[in-house]
Homo-oligomer: A and B are copies of this chain.
Amino acid sequence: MRALVTGAAGFIGSNLVDRLLRAGHSVVGFDNLSTGQLRFLQSALKSPSFRLERGDLLGLEHVARASQGCDIVFHLAANADVRFGLEHPRKDLDQNVIATWNVLEGMRTNGIRRIVFSSTGSVYGEAQVFPTPEDAPFPIQTSLYAASKLAAEGLISAYCEGFGMQGYIFRFVSILGERYTHGHVFDFYRQLKDHPDYLDVLGDGHQRKSYLYIQDCLSAILLAIERAADKVSVLNLGVDAYCEVNDSIGWICEHLGVKPALRYSGGERGWVGDNPFIFLDCKKMRGFGWKPDLDIREGVIKTLDFLQNHEWVFTARA
């Protein structure tokens, strides 16, 4: 197949591009390189089956042109800066809602029928049921990031219903692994590199989190688009376990051989709108025969290995 991947130079996008190319597919990558890294596409750019379109999803015409001739769109580009949403509230609207609408319009113009979308377990807001299934009680949104992702989910579903498209919406827990460039492992590693004797931790360290390894995430997506037959499939993606931030700190410190003093900012959550607990029921996805290979600890270690071997990501993101 011929796929458009938005956010192709990002963490998840670039890993997906490599997987698709390895499987023999042809790929058009779309990225504005605002947070994506050209270096993540080093290998892809050598392939005759890959083309990179450097552009912004807010430019409808460019999106439409880039998607010409594709059979499927993997729409991964997003403002993933969950934490600072309140400092620039328009960013989520632009990059997560309007950008998604442009992708859908580009598809409609070109008669492309299939769209894969990276949503988030944050859409469950203050979930009351754990692990949280896809049909949990209709939640109230608590962050602009999640609200904008849910808005995009809605637009995609409405386009599927109205224009005969097929949608695969994945609600992720946090993903980590190679090319991971933000989130707590990234922050903690950077801190411990600068000052191995202490570590500043947002919240009280008891926030429970669930993490999925990037290759397990991609295996799920690639399997689901083969197996899921519904007009719109909404699928949670995570592991059947969670950890506390403190557990993760333990693994990181052990792996790096450091014993920092822990300085907690305190409180139940890292920041306003942070979900204290995202733990997803992934039965639906497992029903397709998928299961993750790596557990949370293994994913954290893989991430540390990557960071240790690619320290340039810290300066590239400065």
Contact = CB atoms under 8 A, between A and B. Distances in A.
A153 interface: yes
Interface of A: 85-86, 89-90, 93, 97-98, 101, 104-105, 108, 124-125, 134-144, 146-148, 150-151, 153-155, 157-159, 161-163, 232, 234, 272-273
B155 A151 contact: yes
A86 B163 contact: yes
Contact of A138 (B138, B144, B151, B162): B138
Contacts of A142: 157-158, 161
A159 B159 CA distance: 27
A227 B34 CA distance: 46
Contacts of A148: 154-155
Given A89-B105, A97-B97, A138-B136, A158 B147 contact: yes
Given A147-B155, A162-B272, 4 more contacts: A86-B162, A89-B162, A93-B98, A134-B138
Contact of A158 (B134, B158, B273): B273
A146 B125 CA distance: 20
Given A142-B161, A162-B144, A155 B93 contact: yes
Contacts of A134: 138
A-B interface, 10 closest residue pairs, ranked by CB to CB distance from nearest:
A147-B154, A151-B151, A135-B137, A141-B154, A147-B158, A141-B157, A144-B158, A86-B162, A142-B161, A150-B154
Contact of A137 (B97, B124, B136, B150): B136
Contacts of A141: 153-155, 157-158, 161
Given A98-B93, A154-B146, A272 B85 contact: no
Nearest to A134: B138
Contacts of A154: 141, 146-148, 150-151
A157 B140 contact: yes
Contact of A143 (B124, B161, B234): B161
18 contacts: A89-B104, A89-B159, A93-B155, A97-B151, A135-B137, A136-B138, A138-B138, A140-B232, A141-B161, A143-B161, A143-B162, A144-B158, A146-B158, A147-B154, A150-B154, A151-B151, A161-B272, A161-B273
A85 B162 contact: yes
Contacts of A125: 157
Q: Which of A125, A136, A137, A144 has the most CB of B within 10 A?
A: A144
Contacts of A136: 137-138
A311 to B, nearest CB: 34
A148 B147 CA distance: 12
